[in-house]
Amino acid sequence: MGIARGALLTDQYQLTMAQLYFRYGLHEREARFEHFFRKNPDYGDHESGYAVNAGWGWLGRWAARSRFGEEERAALLSHAADGHRLFDADFVDWLGEVSWDALRYETIPEGRVVHPNVPITVVEGPLGVAQLLETSLLNHLNFHILIATKAARVVGVARGGRVLEFGLRRGPDEGGIAATRAAFIGGADASSNVGISHEMGILPQGTHAHSMVQVFMALGEGELGAFRAYAEMYPDECLLLVDTIDTLESGIPNAITVFEELRKKGHHPLGIRLDSGDLAHLAVRASQMLDGAGFDDVAIVLSSSLDELTMFQILTQIAEEAPRYGEDADRVIGRLVYGVGTKMITSDGQPYLDGVYKLVAIDGDGEWRPAIKVSDTPAKMVNPGRKVVRRLYDQRGLANVDLMSLADEDLAYPLQIHHHHETGISRTLEQARVSEVEQLLEKALLEPPVDDPAVVSEARIRRVADLERLDPGVKRLVNPHVYHVSITRRLADLKRDLAANAR
């Protein structure tokens, strides 16, 4: 497998910095890094009002197989610039002893709804080790969150219809594997991706492609021959792709013929799949034709460039068009299944999350000192210090604000809370308006989940629960309401003072 997937899945500067810390005796000094993102995914013509946290268990898998072993150390020792070695033997020996268990972790559990600028992963421990973890942590978590969020949006418009992840063929190389797991956390019900589905204990889904129909056509048996062969092979899982020749003129009539043959033999066909053309119109017409033949309970799977906006538009069009064909729109919609591929697995429109991993505190000879990175852009100034994050719920029981405070700070009502970076904006929160206060960060171990299917399954439950407690305006597909992310007065003051000192 080579050395690309293990501990050297990192950026070169993590190693040069680690060696510098090692040389100056700083590598074992306690430091705290926080991982957060600055903006929800913005897909160009629409944007998300929230994100779904994901990836911790996946990062744990990486960590378990990633040590600076012999091969890795040999590669680093071979790195010579201008003829002299970049990494010294004593540093490389030290790398051989590095263990991710030397660090302490807190994370917001997978599946939970998370918001910009709030630490979602916290890493504390020896500076050298914490620095070495940065790249892989960001690589794995940022992408997982990105895809889980996209999937949650897609699932959110499906009105309970099953969502199948179909994107592997155009996914980002083997990043497509992580994407499938993340899509499960975001709410996809199943995937076509076989290996990871089995690993996650979710049966992979899929029937046949156009090529199967083409084979039978080229051999003179036509679409009907292909459908018959498929029905004979899979009499109880018969789902037929009907657009290889002509959906309305050939595919659906042939499917109905075969379904009738199955019915006579006591089998129950599963459905048809529409993969091209005007999916909304075809879904209505297909529903009408299937109903006419007495197949009013078989599914209609839609696929072809679906994303949350397209699906929303299709459902809107069905509501308008179904009555014209004597069909009940809700019933048509109720039989739909969505095969969502490329645009979900690549988070089309916003193919990355801008997550960062920032130093916020370091041990200054026995006491924690807050660290800051100033910036001309106030939104990019890091919230310094060791922090805790609380989610406050309002009297309706809906999440109202994610509040960052310093770790050694007690909250006292009425709370004076400030916008996380705009200095002029603050408000006062009376205790009576707060129905519940919840700590978001939990202690965690960085290790492969003993039972990852259970981890994913619990994450799905958390996502559903959190989305139920999120204001509908924040969940809007387009132009969502902005969720409050705030900091306490003391944190705001600390930030201001540190920034002034740095300059």
H/E segment holding residue 356: strand 356-364
Binders of its own copies among 279-308, rule CB under 8 A? none
CB–CB of 183/148 below 8 Å? yes
Measured CA to CA, the distance from residue 194 to residue 200 in angstroms comes to: 10
Which DSSP string do the residues of 13-78 spell out, in sequence order? HHHHHHHHHHHTT-TTSEEEEEEE-SS--B-SS-B-S-EE---HHHHHHHHHH----HHHHHHHHT
Single residue of 314, 322, 359, 446 touching its own copies by CB under 8 A: 359
CB–CB of 155/474 below 8 Å? no
Give whichever of 3 and 411 is closer to its own copies, judged by the CB atom: 3
Answer yes or no whether residue 153 interacts with its own copies by CB under 8 A.
no
Answer yes or no whether residue 17 interacts with its own copies by CB under 8 A.
yes
Size of site (CB under 8 A) for its own copies: 121
Give whichever of 213 and 388 is closer to its own copies, judged by the CB atom: 213
What sign for the dihedral angle of Cα 208, 209, 211, 217?
A: positive
Single residue of 362, 411, 445, 477 touching its own copies by CB under 8 A: 362
Answer yes or no whether residue 195 interacts with its own copies by CB under 8 A.
yes
Rg (CA), the chain: 27
Answer yes or no whether residue 23 interacts with its own copies by CB under 8 A.
yes
Measured CA to CA, the distance from residue 157 to residue 311 in angstroms comes to: 7
Q: How far is the CB of 6 from its own copies (least distance, A)?
A: 7
Answer yes or no whether residue 373 interacts with its own copies by CB under 8 A.
yes
- The stretch among 364-372, 405-413, 414-422, 424-432 that binds its own copies (CB under 8 A) is 364-372
Site map for its own copies, 213-232, x if CB under 8 A?
Answer: -xx-xxxx--------xx--
CB–CB of 345/176 below 8 Å? yes
Answer yes or no whether residue 77 interacts with its own copies by CB under 8 A.
no
Single residue of 292, 294, 326, 364 touching its own copies by CB under 8 A: 364
The amino acid present at 202, given as its one-letter code, is I
Q: How far is the CB of 13 from its own copies (least distance, A)?
A: 3
Binders of its own copies among 40-59, rule CB under 8 A? 44, 58
Answer yes or no whether residue 372 interacts with its own copies by CB under 8 A.
yes
- The stretch among 309-317, 342-350, 401-409, 427-435 that binds its own copies (CB under 8 A) is 342-350
* Residues whose CB is less than 8 angstroms from the CB of residue 287 and which lie 6 or more positions away in sequence, other chains included: 300, 322, 327, 331, 332, 335
CB–CB of 50/378 below 8 Å? no
User: What is the three-class DSSP state of 340?
Assistant: strand
Measured CA to CA, the distance from residue 226 to residue 244 in angstroms comes to: 11
Site map for its own copies, 229-268, x if CB under 8 A?
Answer: xx--xx-xx------xxx----------------------
Single residue of 56, 105, 166, 338 touching its own copies by CB under 8 A: 166
Give whichever of 13 and 413 is closer to its own copies, judged by the CB atom: 13
Q: What are the beta bridge partners of residue 368?
A: 363
Give whichever of 103 and 467 is closer to its own copies, judged by the CB atom: 103
Measured CA to CA, the distance from residue 53 to residue 441 in angstroms comes to: 12
Answer yes or no whether residue 139 interacts with its own copies by CB under 8 A.
yes
Binders of its own copies among 417-476, rule CB under 8 A? none
Q: How far is the CB of 397 from its own copies (least distance, A)?
A: 35
